[in-house]
């Protein structure tokens, strides 16, 4: 692709305009695709925070673990990729449960240990990255090219189908998350009751520990699913989840910190789109600043997030 654009200046004007427009469209759609992952992983982050009021900063590592596990299962067993993806995502969920059992369970109801909790979860993050480096190595490696999706043609402009599929699957996953949190069924009502008041939820017979464990598994599964979706566009490495995890937290704060729904996804899409625009108009040294400018603007304008709501303290 780079060689094509180096030669753009030698092409006729009409072709040059088409190629430039194609590049702009691909960059913007690619930004939306990556932004969808920010929003999806941010949803996983918010799912855990909403129910437990603790921040699981290891979401990026869960994304990395999901991607690596899928590749390991697929290459070692030769089973269909879809089945390997399901198993890899479930293993991410099991790892998320392990984080809850080993670390989180001590801090959920004791807000006085928040600083200790932050140190503990950062230790989990670093340990997970080091463990992945020991098992799979630290050198970046490509994701297996198992799905040939081709391109989508829109009025002569070619858009990679990976981005379209990524957007579609992310929106579908967000709808599933919305359904899980719906107050129309018992599980959804139990989740909201536990998030609002632990003691009252226990008094009415809700198994609070079960709900919290389920949400940690669910949040980890969401992150692992995001890893499976984004990995074909990146190189696998133990550090691949660090940057995505940080931007997912920003997307969660922009969309509505501690909320679950399409607001967080919209925050991720906005962040991804702004990053894509930054790639088109800003030098490389300034592109990373966009993330933090967006965060500062939203925090000053609406601290609870674009679609977030103010909530009282949980008892």
In a domain, 141, yes or no: no
Considering the chain, what percentage of its residues have pLDDT values greater than 70? 81
Tens of pLDDT along 78-120? 888 889 999 999 999 999 888 888 776 565 555 445 667 777 8
Tens of pLDDT along 188-214? 888 888 888 888 888 888 888 889 889
Which residue segment(s) compose the domain that 201 sits in?
26-136+153-301
DSSP summary character for residue 10: G
In a domain, 49, yes or no: yes
Residue 142 bridge partners (DSSP):
235
d(CA 272, CA 275): 5
In a domain, 54, yes or no: yes
Pick from 27, 26, 56: nearest CA to 41: 56
What integer pLDDT is reported at residue 14 of this predicted model? 43
In a domain, 5, yes or no: no
What are the two backbone dihedrals, phi and then psi, of residue 268, each rounded to the nearest 5 degrees?
-65, -40
Q: Residue 239: which CATH number?
A: 1.10.3470
The tokens of 304 are what?
A: 């609870």
Q: Which helix (H) or strand (E) holds 159?
A: strand 157-160
Of the pLDDT bands very low, low, confident and very high (cuts 50, 70, 90), residue 147 is low
Question: Integer distance in angstroms from the first to the last C-alpha of the chain?
Answer: 56
In a domain, 180, yes or no: yes
In a domain, 20, yes or no: no
For the chain, the average pLDDT equals 80
- Count of the separate structural domains present in the chain: 1
Contact 39, 103 (CB under 8 A): no
What integer pLDDT is reported at residue 103 of this predicted model? 73
In a domain, 308, yes or no: no
d(CA 141, CA 239): 12
In a domain, 307, yes or no: no
Pick from 168, 178, 163: nearest CA to 262: 178
């Amino acid at each position: 692709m780079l060689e094509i654009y180096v030669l753009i200046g030698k092409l006729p004007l009409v072709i040059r305009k088409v190629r430039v427009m194609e590049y702009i469209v691909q960059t913007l759609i690619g930004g939306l695709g990556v932004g969808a992952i920010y929003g999806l992983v941010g949803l996983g982050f918010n799912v855990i925070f909403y129910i437990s009021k603790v921040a699981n900063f290891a979401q990026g590592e869960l994304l990395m673990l999901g991607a690596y596990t899928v590749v390991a299962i697929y290459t070692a067993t030769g089973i269909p990729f879809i089945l390997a993806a399901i198993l890899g995502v479930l293993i991410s969920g099991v790892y998320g449960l392990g984080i809850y059992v080993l670390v989180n369970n001590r801090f959920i109801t004791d807000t006085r240990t928040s600083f200790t909790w932050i140190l503990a979860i950062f230790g989990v993050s670093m340990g997970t990255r080091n463990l992945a480096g020991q098992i799979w190595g630290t050198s970046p490696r490509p994701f297996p090219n198992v799905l040939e999706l081709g391109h989508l043609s829109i009025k002569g402009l070619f858009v990679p189908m990976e981005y379209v599929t990524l957007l579609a699957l992310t929106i579908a996953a967000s709808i599933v998350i919305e359904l899980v949190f719906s107050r129309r069924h018992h599980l959804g009502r139990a989740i909201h009751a536990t998030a609002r008041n632990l003691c009252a939820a226990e008094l009415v017979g809700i198994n609070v520990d079960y709900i919290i464990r389920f949400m940690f598994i669910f949040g980890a599964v969401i992150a692992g699913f995001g890893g499976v979706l984004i990995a074909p566009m990146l190189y696998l490495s133990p550090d691949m989840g660090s940057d995505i995890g940080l931007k997912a937290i920003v997307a969660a704060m922009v969309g509505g910190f501690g909320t679950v729904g399409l607001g967080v996804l919209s925050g991720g899409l906005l962040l991804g789109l702004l990053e894509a625009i930054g790639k088109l108009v800003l030098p490389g040294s300034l592109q990373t600043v966009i993330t933090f400018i967006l965060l500062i603007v939203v925090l000053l304008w609406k601290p609870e997030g674009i679609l977030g709501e103010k909530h009282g303290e949980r008892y």
